[in-house]
């Protein structure tokens, strides 16, 4: 399931994050790459354990917790601390698939990467190219969202970042281990959740249909969740 999540960061929070990361020192993006990704990746990143990445990442994690659409779509069990990258001057990232297990360096924190997320941090009119191109079951999707918006997609998808030919593309990226490992089951739960919300809005939280559908949702979640 590929889903765009608008307004994860409001204007003030976006400005705060950009001020923090723009003042930091950036390094070669292959500092966090595996052998295969290093062949395809040309960009810059913030050091994973640097003060700027930690501060900006904490702000993003707080924002995610206040974003109901993210919680409903991802059903997160763990979220990898957000990382940050920038592309300019023709830099790109060729076709690749994300590692199945992500390990935070210098710690015992690890997760299974069920979902990948890219949170756009630059105005799309400020750069050319830089689309996140995702190959999924319904075809190839090219994603370039407004600053503060995020795209969520299966980490198992082949994807790439198109060359940036003007300006600078800045984004945060990270991975999520979901309580529901199977993408198809997660899609059913998300669609059911959206239906429950629609019925509740039309008939009220206490309506019989709302209560019944909520029960179905939680019984399916109980069957499929790993906690």
- What pLDDT score was predicted for residue 39? 64
96 is in an annotated binding site: yes
Contact criterion met (CB below 8 Å) for 37 and 5: no
- What pLDDT score was predicted for residue 131? 98
- What pLDDT score was predicted for residue 183? 94
Of 94, 88, 83, residue with least CA distance to 127:
88
Show pLDDT as tens, one digit a residue, over the chain (227 residues): 899 999 999 999 999 999 999 999 999 987 655 555 656 789 999 999 999 999 999 999 999 999 999 999 999 999 999 999 999 999 999 999 999 999 998 889 999 999 999 999 999 999 999 999 999 877 899 999 999 999 999 999 999 999 999 999 999 999 999 999 999 999 999 999 999 999 999 999 999 999 999 999 999 999 999 98
Tokens of 133: 């191109």
169 is in an annotated binding site: yes
The yes-or-no answer to whether 3-178 and 183-224 have a common fold is no
The CATH class of 183-224 is few secondary structures
pTM above 0.85, yes or no: yes
The CATH class of 3-178 is mainly beta
For the chain, the domains span 3-178, 183-224
98 is in an annotated binding site: yes
218 is in an annotated binding site: no
Beta strands in the chain (DSSP E): 3-5, 27-28, 44-45, 76-79, 83-88, 93-96, 101-103, 110-112, 115-120, 128-129, 132-136, 139-143, 150-154, 158-161, 164-166, 168-178
- In eight-state DSSP terms, residue 81 is P
Tokens of 69: 């659409």
């Amino acid at each position: 399931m590929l889903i765009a999540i608008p307004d994860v960061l409001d204007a003030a929070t976006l400005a705060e994050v950009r001020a923090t990361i723009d003042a930091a020192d950036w390094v070669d993006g292959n500092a966090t790459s595996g052998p295969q990704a290093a062949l395809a990746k040309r960009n810059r990143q913030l050091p994973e354990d640097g003060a700027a990445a930690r501060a900006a990442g904490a702000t993003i994690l707080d924002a995610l917790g206040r974003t109901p659409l993210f919680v409903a779509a991802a059903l997160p069990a763990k979220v990898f601390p957000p990382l940050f990258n920038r592309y300019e001057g023709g830099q790109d990232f060729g076709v690749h698939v994300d590692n199945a297990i992500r390990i935070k360096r210098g710690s015992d924190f690890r997760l299974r990467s069920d979902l990948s997320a890219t949170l756009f941090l630059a105005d799309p009119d400020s750069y050319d190219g830089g689309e996140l191109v995702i190959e999924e079951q319904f075809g190839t999707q090219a994603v370039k969202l407004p600053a503060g918006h995020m795209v969520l997609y299966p980490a198992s998808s082949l994807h790439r970042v198109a060359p940036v030919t003007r300006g600078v593309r800045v984004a945060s990226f990270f991975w999520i281990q979901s309580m529901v490992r199977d993408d198809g089951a997660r899609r059913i739960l998300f669609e059911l959740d959206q239906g429950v919300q629609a019925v509740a809005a039309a008939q009220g939280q206490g309506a019989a249909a709302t209560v019944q559908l909520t029960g179905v949702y939680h019984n399916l979640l109980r069957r499929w969740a790993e906690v």
